[in-house]
Amino acid sequence: MTRNPGMGAATRDTILRLAADQASVEGLGGLSIGQLATQLGMSKSGLFAHFGSKERLQLATIEDARRRYVEAVLVPALRAPRGIRRLDALCDSFLSYVERAVFPGGCFFAAAMAEFGGKEPGPVRDKIADCQRQWTATLQRAADAARDCAELMDACETEQLAFELEAALLSANWYVRLYDDPSYFDRARHAVRSLLEAGSTPTGRQALP
């Protein structure tokens, strides 16, 4: 294993990539420093030195996962034009991100939310909640924009709509994995379509692909 100075950051990235992959399957709590080290062919203490504590490893893992999430979900979707099409693109982009197995265990943050939701507060839980809030807010802002474009009806409650969209996306993430049945992606797309059509104006309905 190359051990150049300045390579520390690269090693760190390698560790975090594997850590996020692992955490999406085993959970952030199930992350094992020893197992990570073995899989990377390095020593436990050498890996540990990069973070100083398991909690800091978890926090760094979340940040790495967030970067990958932005890259895989937000960046592609934000190329869609403002309005109902971007809202639709966000949902589709999320489903595609689960489908492409960007993380091998499905959505990293869904897994983390389920794992830490009921736990006592702490830095890790707070960061997870923060990430989740940010994603929901992104959905809602897209819905607000669509309403401003008159593609969603004025009466549309965007916060409620964001909740219902998220619900369909998350459930697809769970069911696809539990039943090993990708048809739940179609179910989620169907649900998203229903929700968008129900809230859209004629203009908006026409804008939908």
Q: Which residues bind a second copy (CB under 8 A)?
A: 24-25, 27, 29-30, 104-106, 110-111, 113-119, 125, 128-129, 132-133, 160, 163-164, 166-168, 170-171, 174-175, 177-179, 184, 187, 190-191, 194, 198
Residues of span 21-80 touching DNA by CB under 7 A:
31-35, 37, 41-50, 52-55, 57
Of these partners, DNA, a second copy, none, which one is at the site of residue 132 (CB under 5 to 8 Å by kind)?
Answer: a second copy
Number of shown-chain residues binding DNA (CB under 7 A): 30
Of these partners, DNA, a second copy, none, which one is at the site of residue 191 (CB under 5 to 8 Å by kind)?
Answer: a second copy
> Could you say whether residue 155 binds DNA (CB under 7 A)?
no
The neighbour count for residue 144, using CB atoms within 10 Å, is: 17
Residues of span 111-150 touching DNA by CB under 7 A:
none
Of these partners, a second copy, DNA, none, which one is at the site of residue 128 (CB under 5 to 8 Å by kind)?
Answer: a second copy
Of these partners, a second copy, DNA, none, which one is at the site of residue 202 (CB under 5 to 8 Å by kind)?
Answer: none
> Could you say whether residue 95 binds DNA (CB under 7 A)?
no
Structure-token match 């998350």, residue found: 170
Q: Mapped to the 3 state alphabet, what secondary structure does 42-85 carry?
A: CCHHHHHCCCCCHHHHHHHHHHHHHHHHHHHHHHHHCCCCCCHH
- Is 159 exposed, middle or buried (CB count within 10 Å of its CB: 0-12, 13-18, 19+)? middle
d(CA 105, CA 112): 11
Number of H helices, E strands in the chain: 11, 0
Angle at 61 between CA 60 and CA 67, to 5 degrees: 90
